Amino acid sequence: MQRISIITLNLWNIEHWQQRKACVISFVKTYRADIYCLQEVRPTTLAVLDEALPAYIRIEGPERGWRHESAIYVHKALFAVEEYGRVDLRMPEVDRGLFWVRLRTGEGTPLFVSTLHLTHQLNATEVATGIGFRHDEAILAGEALNTLIGAEEAAILCGDFNDPVHPSLIFQRNAAFTDVFSALGLPAPVTFPCPYLSDEGFLVEAIDKIMVRGPVRPLLATSPRFLTPGGVLSDHWPVAAVLELG
């Protein structure tokens, strides 16, 4: 059996970046997760993370979204990268999608890791029509995951779902994923908003998720309320999990 740690975080593009930069650096150096799945990255934030994480490989495909939406960092001493890609989910945010990488551990265990960022509830079209995007996006992502993931392959899905209920249910029903908190018999903690910089206090939601499928078992899941003097990570709180493979 092999244990790994993983963290997902919406990095909030470059909003208040100078106030958050030192906190983000301190966080990744303190937690040293084996895998980081990030949403709302930008070239500015990636340059800082690349320097702060010299022992990691940042997965990067040809699409612009790898530098302007989602990023996956993996510890290069622990994993070999076999293949990676992006699946278009027909989202209004054209650079988003399902970003994935297939890894192999030092013990030879295959591992599929993916991340996505579903459309926000306050999207202008959704506000005007009352018709959301996340159901269709989650259905498309689930179909892609079923195609990409091997029958006996351990798989992890991370991301900002922007919905505390329906995407998780769709991934559970359509693609056999289980939320790590549910697997441990725990209520999912609120991950949005982090109140120190956000003005969206009217939204209080557990929307940042880590889900698993196949031969992988959650041992621990938490949402660290990480702070440094004068700084926070984002308008979201991260989610972290320790998983056992095999």
CATH number for position 174 = 3.60.10.10
> What pLDDT is stored for residue 202 in this prediction?
79
Beta strand spans in the chain (E): 2-10, 35-39, 56-59, 70-75, 79-87, 98-105, 110-117, 154-160, 178-179, 208-213, 216-222, 227-228, 231-232, 239-245
CA distance 198 to 201: 7
CA distance 163 to 122: 11
Q: Could you list the residue range(s) of the whole structural domain that residue 17 is in?
A: 2-245
CA distance 103 to 106: 10
Residue 201 has pLDDT above 80, yes or no: no
Residue pLDDT, tens place only, 23-54:
999 999 999 999 999 999 999 999 999 999 99
> What pLDDT is stored for residue 1 in this prediction?
83
Residue 123 has pLDDT above 90, yes or no: no
**Which strands form 208-213's sheet, in the order they lie side by side?**
79-87, 98-105, 110-117, 154-160, 208-213, 178-179
> What pLDDT is stored for residue 190 in this prediction?
97
* pTM, two decimal places: 0.97
Band (pLDDT 50/70/90 cuts) for residue 212 is: very high
CA distance 59 to 15: 23
Residue 219 has pLDDT above 80, yes or no: yes
Residue 149 has pLDDT above 90, yes or no: yes
Band (pLDDT 50/70/90 cuts) for residue 166 is: very high
Q: How many domains does the chain have?
A: 1
Secondary structure element (H or E) that encloses residue 27, with its range: helix 17-31
CA distance 48 to 79: 22
Residue pLDDT, tens place only, 56-110:
999 999 999 999 999 999 999 999 999 999 999 999 999 999 999 999 999 999 9
Mean per-residue pLDDT, 116-126? 92
